Chain A
Amino acid sequence: NAGVTQTPKFRVLKTGQSMTLLCAQDMNHEYMYWYRQDPGMGLRLIHYSVGEGTTAKGEVPDGYNVSRLKKQNFLLGLESAAPSQTSVYFCASTKSGSNEQFFGPGTRLTVL
């Protein structure tokens, strides 16, 4: 099992450009999450999904959109990137009823 994978690993964008981050998990987990992590700070929840076709806002959702068309995939979109979105983005998944989140390796995004 690959666990949780993220694509791409690194990306540099110019202000105003758009992009999509892809998260995939092969553990048949119901719940999936997108976090951002900034230097010296913990993980902040952007959006999450409790099942296919369902998404909800987290702590810092502004400027991001998500979609969960298939159970194994969770996409994070930036429609118009801003320098404040420079961060490391982590995707995670959890089995329903479990307390253990499994994280992907992260995507390091820089917006110039």
Chain B
Amino acid sequence: GQSLEQPSEVTAVEGAIVQINCTYQTSGFYGLSWYQQHDGGAPTFLSYNALDGLEETGRFSSFLSRSDSYGYLLLQELQMKDSASYFCANPSGGYQKVTFGTGTKLQVIP
């Protein structure tokens, strides 16, 4: 089976750095994706880690450690517009099926 666990809520201050963790237990693992979803909106793709290490895309970075079954999304220079839910996801079976984590609601405060 597949399960991806995330903290349910995180609060951080505008301009700060926040890390959103994801731990997983899967029978088959191809990598870890991250999606952002604003209230009332659709999920949008942020990043994908196939290999261990850090991937950087602007203010957002994503990290993966296969040996620890763990990954995280790092958001720097937080802005109010970053307030949203963030989901980790595990593509499996050759990308044919994707399992999403429980989601973390990030609130950025002034």
Same assembly: yes
Chain A positions within 8 Å of B, measured between CB atoms, are: 31, 33, 35, 40-45, 48, 50, 56, 58-59, 90, 92, 94, 96-106
Known contacts A99-B31, A99-B48, A99-B91, A45 near B97 by CB under 8 Å = yes
Contact A31:B100 (CB < 8 A) given known A43-B87, A106-B42:
no
- Complex Cα gap A92–B37 (Å): 14
Measured CA separation A100–B103 after assembly (Å): 17
Complex alpha-carbon distance, A50 and B102, angstroms: 25
- Cα A99 to Cα B87 in complex, Å, equals 14
Query: B42–A100 contact, CB under 8 A?
Result: no
The B48-93 residues at the A interface (CB cut-off 8 A) are 48, 50, 87, 91
CA distance A105 to B40 in the complex (A): 9
Asked if B11 is at the interface (CB within 8 A of a chain A CB), the reply is no
Residues B13-40 near A (CB distance < 8 A): 31, 33, 35
Q: A31 touches which one: B41, B44, B95, B99 (CB < 8 A)?
A: B95
B109 within 8 A of A: no
Q: Give Cα distance in the complex from A40 to B91, angstroms.
A: 21
Can you offer 28 A-B residue contacts whose CB atoms are under 8 A? A31-B95, A31-B96, A40-B8, A42-B4, A43-B43, A43-B100, A44-B100, A45-B98, A45-B99, A48-B96, A48-B97, A50-B96, A59-B99, A90-B42, A90-B43, A92-B43, A97-B95, A98-B95, A99-B33, A99-B45, A99-B48, A99-B50, A100-B48, A101-B35, A102-B45, A103-B42, A103-B44, A105-B42
Cβ contacts under 8 Å, B100 to chain A: 35, 42-44
- Residues A99 and B102 in contact, CB atoms below 8 Å apart: no
- Rounded to whole Å, the gap between the CB of B53 and the closest CB of chain A is 16
Q: B44: which A residues are within 8 A, CB to CB? A: 103
Say which residue of A56, A101, A105 sits within 8 Å of B45 (CB atoms): A101
Task: Enumerate chain A residues within 8 angstroms of B33, measured Cβ to Cβ.
Answer: 99-100
Excluding A43-B43, A101-B45, 5 further A-B contacts by CB distance (< 8 Å) are A31-B96, A40-B103, A42-B103, A50-B96, A99-B33
